[in-house]
A = this chain, B = another copy of it.
Amino acid sequence: MKYIQSLQNPQVKQWKKLLTKKERDRSGTFLIEGFHLVEEALKEGLVLEVIVSEKIGLSPRLDIGSAAVITVTEEIADSLSDTETPQGIYAVCRQPKINEGVSNAKTYLLIDAVQDPGNLGTMIRTADAAGIDAVIVGRGSVDVYNSKVLRSAQGSHFHLPIIREDLGTWIDRLQKKNIPVYGTALEGAATYTDIPAGETFALIVGNEGSGVNKDLLSTTTANLYIPIYGKSESLNVAVATGILLYYLKK
């Protein structure tokens, strides 16, 4: 088992680079932190390297498979964390290839320019819970492999395909398959309970401040609205996603 003690070790430097989107995109890999995420990633066979602090050691519960295991000092382990209470275990994963599976998907969540990593992660987790078949993340959203997104999603990245592509292209493609595509909007929209729940649908949710892009909304099958009964101006985008997905799936 490999043991690294120096913060200057090139492998340590490479791991730290994975905290940037640029390097994640270039390498096709990403870094995860914490026992639960590492366990989920191992189940999916996506782990290239497990990094473990010498302070905690490797749990016998983890089925490492063919992944490399590297023990590091506590100092190195802590330097990879962006949390206040690091768990001392990390993994480098390869980004899953999105393939055939998606062509049979019946239900989709399309995400337009969501900025807050906690929101994006919670939305991916919510789509997973609601049994949605695929998540499509358009341009202008925070990176899906950002560490806070990964943490908020609590392993759902490993449960359903997450595709980063142009949403307009996807709306076209879905409508050609006769899958209804629902936007979300505050004006010119139908109360969501007026739309029938269904076996197949796509829901588009959008940016925390400005909502879904107007050009996209003009191409949807219908646009939905969640009534505000009190005095708040709007709902949090992840909460709205939960209300709509659980309604539409019924």
Contact = CB atoms under 8 A, between A and B. Distances in A.
Interface of A: 118, 122, 125-132, 152, 154-156, 159-160, 193, 226, 228-236, 238-243, 246-247, 249-250
Nearest to A158: B231
A21 to B, nearest CB: 19
Contacts of A231: 128, 156, 159-160
Copies of this protein in the complex: 2
Residue of A127, A131, A132, A160 contacting most chain B CB atoms (<10 Å): A131
A233 B250 CA distance: 19
A131 B243 contact: no
Nearest to A236: B122
Given A118-B118, A243-B246, A250-B193, A154 B232 contact: yes
A246 B247 CA distance: 10
Contacts of A152: 236
